[in-house]
Amino acid sequence: MKTILIPTDFTADSISILKNALNSEKDEKVNIILGYGKRLSWSISDLLFYSTKSVLKELEDDEFTEAKEIIMNKYSSKINSLRVELFHGFNQNAFNNYIEGNKIDYSVIPESDEAMDYNYKQGFDIVPFIKKSNLLTETVSYTKEYATSAQGSSLFKLLTS
């Protein structure tokens, strides 16, 4: 069973990278890891009461969760597991450890570097780390499309693209 790392920025739109990745994945079941870079706080009290669960709860909004569930329902026979794994490190060594620790086999990243919006939830880009590592990468075409206020939820992009 392969484990795939896919960068995410917690927008419903970015789930379409996952959708494309799963479309191109032909054989067997896979484990999906959605990767996200998040700096840890410098405050000792914040670290003392740190819990991944609550951080993730803050990051995942309803739309993202819904989009994730749609994909999980659609590809339920292909996805063995899907989880979000935060990366807190600063350098390439830390990222290599992250890859090793999560037993990641390869990664699927968007073609253009500007595709993700990390400022949206105060995170940082892990794509440069992925590119520098000796991980096999596959690129998919993906451009961010912001939902304008007139368009309501951005779920429809995922559904109509």
Partner 1 sequence: MKTQNKIILLLSSIFLLFTLIFSGFIYYSIANYSYDDFYKRLEIRAITSATIQLESGNDTRAIQEIRQEYLEELPNEKITIVDLDSNTAEADLKKLGLPNAFIEKGKEEKRAFYKKDKTFYSLVYYTSSEKKDYLVFASAENYYSTHHMAYLENSLITAIIFSVVIIFLISYFFSRLVVKPLRSIIKKMNTISTKNLNLRLDIPRKNAELRLLSLTFNNMLNRLEASFETQNNFISNASHELNTPLTNIIGEAEVTLNKERSTEDYEAALTNILEEADKLSKKTQALLYLAQTGFNGKVQKNKLLRVDQVLLDAVQTVEKLYSNNKIHIDFSLLPETSDKLKIMGNSQLLELAISNLLINACKYSDKKDVYVALAVSDTYAIIIIKDHGIGIPKKDMPYIYDPFFRASNVGIHEGYGIGLPLTRNLIKMHDGELIVSSEENVETIVEIKLPLFKFS
Which residues make up the interface to partner 1 (CB under 8 A)? 65-67, 69-77, 148, 150-153, 155-156, 158-160
List the beta bridge partners of residue 94: none
Nearest residue (CB) to partner 1, 15 versus 130: 15
CB of 121 to partner 1, least distance (A): 21
Residue 53's Cα: distance from chain center in Å? 16
**What does the alpha-carbon distance between residue 37 and residue 123 come to, in Å, rounded to a whole number?**
5
Among 111, 97, 128, 80, which Cα is nearest to 16's?
111
Least distance to partner 1 from the beta carbon of 62, Å?
10
58 contacts: CB under 8 Å, gap ≥ 6: none
Cβ nearer to partner 1, comparing 84 with 155 = 155
Residue number with CB closer to partner 1 (102 or 154): 154
| Minimal distance, residue 142 CB to partner 1, in Å | 17
> In what helix (H) or strand (E) does residue 30 lie, and over which residues does it extend?
strand 30-37
Minimum distance of partner 1 from residue 2's CB (angstroms): 20
- Provide the CA 15 distance to its chain's centre, in angstroms: 8
Cβ proximity to partner 1: between 75 and 98 the closer is 75
State both tokens at 124: 């940082």
